């Protein structure tokens, strides 16, 4: 599936790009179409961080993202790098003590806050204390009101961003005021960026949710479920990879799950559950899961010097070029797998490539090549058919014992 994100530039007073506001889009449009703000933020986070990557979206500049109170309370923000994001708080967000306490905790960890479409209210002093940036709607807020409010701010004063600059005349009017940053259609219209993403299978998500609802964090059961879906596997590995203090290597799904708490797993599930149903490429996604298990069984039989998870990932992601309608040269560096797997996808000679070629040749019914690969890997040919049937049966079985 295509994934869409709108990116609108924010400029400083010298005309340099200071950052970009990132906005969820369901298709090519300048406008917001999702009615559920939690869902929109969730999809934006999944698309921007786990699909496109902030580095590709902002070229190292700051990413301004609107966060709903529910998303902030969920704890998912702490997976995002504080040096790359600005947390925008909406003007209509409901304040409570828990929410303010969480924001203060995030502030101590280096996260910065912007108040979006801000209108001064003496009761919002707790928000003003958080603010690093205040965004003023210059199209609908009279400038005299802004200048009187600005004089009330304590030092060090937050940066003031003039947004909705729709015309040259408005830009010239606000440029000489106390504004430090500028955003609007006159300066730059939102640019729609596209990439490819995979939607999780709804039946797999349903099974995952059942296990999550149990009192104890059932990592083994969750791992067994995630392995049945290429999208969930890719996303949990990307989430694990986002933890910078951990090695950026191919992990097992179990290891990835062990790095997040039960509560964090529930939050991650809620983000993934924002996707609508998608039956596109269903057969290819099922084939990917079969390949994963098939390759895992063959790799273990060959007694190669890799883990069973590495064999599984090798097969599971080997059809991504077809699923995403691209080439491995374009996507391999963004895959959360080992260098050995990446080299196999780029067809560099290795035992993992031999293993992958055995799988490919078996599916293509190239029997002479299958026999040759079996000899190279020291696998009995009759075992190959046995393992493929086992992989098919394994893929179709989603039962979870409670």
Q: Domain boundaries in the chain?
A: 2-196, 202-272, 282-396
Q: How remote is the C-alpha of 113 from its chain's centroid?
A: 21
Which range has the top average pLDDT, 41-50, 112-121, 279-288, 355-364?
Answer: 355-364
Per-residue pLDDT tens digits for 182-240: 999 999 998 887 766 788 888 899 999 999 999 999 999 999 999 999 999 998 888 77
| Residue 346 DSSP class | T
CA distance 240 to 272: 15
Which has the higher per-residue pLDDT, 91 or 266?
266
| Residue 82 DSSP class | T
In degrees rounded to 5, what are phi and psi of residue 120?
A: -65, 135
Which has the higher per-residue pLDDT, 19 or 117?
19
Q: Which two three-digit tokens encode residue 375?
A: 């000899």
Per-residue pLDDT tens digits for 76-93: 788 778 898 999 987 667
Q: Tell whether the torsion through CA atoms of 109, 51, 313 and 332 is positive or negative.
A: negative
The pLDDT, as a whole number, for residue 211 is 94
Low-confidence winner among 23-32, 58-67, 130-139 (lowest mean pLDDT)? 23-32
Q: What is the mean pLDDT of the chain?
A: 84
pLDDT-based confidence at residue 245 (cuts at 50, 70, 90) = very low
Residue 361 has pLDDT above 80, yes or no: yes
In degrees rounded to 5, what are phi and psi of residue 123?
A: -75, -10
CA distance 342 to 353: 10
Residue 28 has pLDDT above 60, yes or no: no
Helix, strand, coil shares of the chain, percent, nearest 5, are 50, 15, 35
Residue 176 has pLDDT above 90, yes or no: no
Residue 167 vs residues 10, 21, 182, 286: alpha-carbon distances, Å: 15, 19, 12, 52
The pLDDT, as a whole number, for residue 402 is 42
Residue 289 has pLDDT above 50, yes or no: yes
Look up the pTM and report it.
0.77
Residue 263 has pLDDT above 60, yes or no: yes
Per-residue pLDDT tens digits for 295-341: 999 999 999 988 889 999 999 999 999 998 889 998 898 888 999 99
The pLDDT, as a whole number, for residue 212 is 92
- For the stretch 275-283, contacts whose Cβ atoms lie closer than 8 Å and that sit 24 or more positions apart, written own/partner, are 275/43, 275/46, 275/199, 275/200, 276/199, 277/199, 277/202, 278/1, 278/199, 280/1, 281/323
> What residues are paired with 1 via a beta bridge?
none
Residue 92 vs residues 41, 117, 143, 230: alpha-carbon distances, Å: 15, 9, 21, 38
Which has the higher per-residue pLDDT, 136 or 41?
136
The pLDDT, as a whole number, for residue 39 is 61
Specify the CATH number for 2-196; select among 3.30.420.40, 3.20.20.450, 3.40.50.1220, 3.30.710.10.
3.20.20.450
């Amino acid at each position: 599936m295509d994934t869409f994100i709108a990116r609108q530039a924010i400029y400083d007073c010298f005309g340099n790009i200071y950052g970009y506001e990132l906005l969820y889009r369901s298709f090519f449009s300048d406008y917001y179409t999702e009615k559920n703000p939690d869902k929109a933020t969730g999809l934006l986070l999944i698309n921007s961080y786990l699909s496109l990557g902030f580095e590709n979206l902002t070229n190292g500049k700051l990413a301004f993202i609107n966060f709903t109170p529910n998303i902030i309370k969920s704890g998912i923000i702490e997976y995002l790098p504080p040096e790359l994001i600005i947390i925008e708080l909406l003007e209509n967000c409901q304040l409570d003590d828990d929410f303010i306490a969480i924001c203060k905790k995030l502030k101590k960890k280096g996260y910065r806050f912007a108040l979006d479409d801000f209108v001064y209210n003496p009761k919002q002093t707790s928000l003003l204390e958080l603010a690093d940036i205040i965004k003023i709607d210059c199209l609908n807020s009279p400038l005299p009101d802004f200048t009187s409010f600005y004089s009330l701010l304590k030092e060090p004063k937050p940066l003031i961003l003039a947004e909705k600059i729709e015309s040259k005349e408005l830009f010239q009017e606000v440029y000489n005021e106390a504004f430090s940053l500028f955003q609007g259609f006159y300066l730059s219209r939102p640019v729609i960026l596209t990439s490819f993403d995979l939607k999780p299978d709804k039946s797999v998500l349903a099974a995952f949710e059942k296990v999550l609802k149990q009192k104890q964090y059932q990592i083994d059961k969750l791992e067994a479920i995630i392995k049945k879906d290429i999208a969930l596997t890719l996303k949990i590995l990307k989430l694990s990879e986002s933890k910078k203090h951990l090695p950026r290597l191919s992990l097992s799904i179990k290891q990835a799950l062990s790095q997040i708490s039960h509560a964090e797993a529930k939050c991650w599930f809620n983000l993934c559950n924002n996707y609508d149903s998608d039956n596109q490429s269903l057969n290819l996604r099922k084939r990917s899961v079969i390949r994963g298990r098939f390759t895992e069984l063959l790799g273990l039989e060959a007694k190669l010097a890799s883990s069973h998870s590495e064999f599984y990932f090798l097969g599971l992601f080997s059809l991504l070029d077809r699923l995403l309608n691209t080439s491995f040269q374009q996507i391999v560096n963004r895959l959360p797998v080992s260098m050995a797997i990446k080299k196999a996808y780029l067809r560099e000679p290795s035992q993992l490539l031999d293993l992958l070629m055995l799988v490919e040749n078996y599916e293509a019914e190239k029997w002479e090549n299958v026999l040759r690969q079996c000899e190279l890997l020291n696998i009995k040919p009759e075992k190959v058919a046995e393992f493929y049937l086992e992989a098919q049966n394994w893929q179709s079985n989603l039962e979870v014992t409670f």
